Chains A and B, each alone.
Chain A
Amino acid sequence: MFLQQVVNGLSVGSVYALIASGYSLIYSLLGFSNWAHGDIAMVGAYIALIAQTSGHVPFWLAVVLAIAGAGCVSMLSDMVAYRRIRNNHSPKMFLMIAAMGLSITLQNLIMVTVGPRFRTYGDVIPVRSIRLGGISLGVLDLLTMGIIVVALVALGLLIGRTKFGLGVRAASSNMVTASVLGVDVNLYIRLVFLLAGVFAGMAGVLLGLKYNIYPTMGSIALKAFIACVVGGLGSVPGAILGGVTIGVMEALVGGFISSGLRDAFTFALLIAILLVRPSGLLGKNIVDKA
């Protein structure tokens, strides 16, 4: 029973981690909380739904379209909403407010065009599960965890080992210095939004497969935000650790205490971290956000 809950928690936590890693990348670069990030995941889920139901394309193609679409919407959100504010030397708060506005806009857009009803993709993934030493593993959960592990390892290699990653780390360490050293920071910001959007799109489809698709499903980003703070704001490994921690904790609280108290425990963890270790589990000092 305990192990079963841990496994369930890992599956949800890996989705939190996927959203949180993109969220954290944007935070580390621009220092603001992108409240629209969860809604990018929602848009991804809907793109797959529309491609599947109206476009009648095979599901794998719907997923590809969802991921690409979410990446593009994310990148466009920077070009349309954030870029001017950034280059204006405005306070970071303005970026956060713009993100809130964008979040509401995306939700309303979907409500008006697709409708507020809960939707599903139908039976695209078999609901079978595999039994392994007393634990039952859903095919979807296994698939979710497998895909996310691959995605996060790829992200780690991209940020840690490539020239692209070096540019991102330089820009998140000091945007002005990176620019005088030859990093095209506007381009890099756009690419990071694209990457974060691609991850959000993946998460959106995975959430849609496990639960439902609805206009406010992006509010899961709140959990991703808490995951980032718990793990250390702006640290990608921290975001992943935070996401997995919260996922497992929620599953255990839901399974052994009461599912009504899940969120209460999550916020209690957030407050405890803020009191005991404000820089988060893997947070570095405030000076260097890389």
Chain B
Amino acid sequence: MLRVENLHASYGGIKALRGISLEVGDHEFVAVLGPNGAGKSTLLKCISGLHHPSDGTISFDGNRLSGVPHKVVESGIALVPEGRQILPGLTVLENLRVGAFTRKDRLGVKQDLNMVFELFPILGQRQTQLGGLLSGGEQQMLAVARGLMSRPKLMLLDEPSLGLAPIIVNQVFDILQKINHSGTAILIVEQNVYKALSMAERAYILSTGTIEKSGACSDLRHDDQLVHAYLGK
């Protein structure tokens, strides 16, 4: 479904990605793990068109991605960005509607609104509240729900657990698993290594812009050396 090949990216002179390749299959749940500054967010930015790679290709369903953010959304990829990025002056409902911006099927959007309100009852209760006034956990729920509103085939999530209490982290991950089971592929960037390894099927370990290791999460979980070396215990 998603295929990244030999991706290079830099900011001015700083090289953030040095030739990484990875894949996400249909309905797969894949994690990218690695320390701060490894290039995880840069990878997601390149896929969603926010940053232009200096080399390499990114293709989705066999087609090269355009690198234009709204077209990437149209092709079926939603980004839940780092730091949630709720639009603070818009209401919860308006934030969700912006998430469905590329869609023309009004009826489907209505159904999906009901779907996300079922998935996140708190958002249903807070529909008319300004997004900026939600708590951190509620904002993360809104960010995920907003990502769902484009009805993506693939969802990219950048550290959705950041700054959340453990109980909320569990809630968010449970919902991600539900989303995945209903057929949406997931590529998640995380620092919460144990949680991510227990949820995802496969993982890539990214360090200073290169992929150090990859494999099934069930194997990586027991790779003490790896956990120690790259992720810290």
Contact = CB atoms under 8 A, between A and B. Distances in A.
B132 interface: yes
A182 B101 contact: yes
A173 interface: yes
A183 B90 contact: no
Chain B residues touching A, range = 20 to 34
A254 B99 CA distance: 51
Interface stretch (A164-172, A191-199, A243-251): A164-172
A287 B88 CA distance: 9
Nearest to B45: A180
Given A167-B101, A169-B94, A181 B89 contact: no
A183 B94 CA distance: 13
Given A177-B81, A288-B132, A182 B87 contact: no
Contacts of A182: 69-70, 73-74, 98-102, 150
A263 B49 CA distance: 49
Interface residues of A, number: 21
A181 B99 contact: yes
Interface in B99-153: 99-102, 132, 146, 150
Nearest to B131: A173
B88 A288 contact: yes
B19 to A, nearest CB: 25
B50 A179 contact: yes
Contacts of A170: 87, 90, 94, 98, 101
Contacts of B90: 166, 169-170, 173, 290
A284 interface: yes
Nearest to A176: B50
The SS class assigned to the A binding surface is helix
Nearest to B94: A166
Contacts of B132: 287-288
Contacts of A287: 88, 132
A174 interface: yes
Given A173-B88, A182-B99, 13 more contacts: A163-B101, A166-B98, A166-B101, A167-B101, A174-B85, A180-B72, A181-B98, A182-B70, A182-B73, A182-B102, A284-B89, A287-B88, A287-B132
Interface of B: 48-50, 69-70, 72-74, 79, 81, 85, 87-90, 94, 97-102, 132, 146, 150
Interface of A: 163, 166-167, 169-170, 173-174, 176-185, 284, 287-288, 290
30 contacts: A166-B90, A166-B97, A167-B101, A169-B89, A170-B90, A170-B98, A170-B101, A173-B87, A173-B89, A176-B50, A176-B85, A177-B81, A177-B87, A179-B49, A179-B50, A180-B50, A180-B72, A180-B73, A181-B98, A181-B99, A181-B101, A182-B70, A182-B98, A182-B100, A183-B101, A184-B70, A287-B132, A288-B88, A288-B89, A290-B87
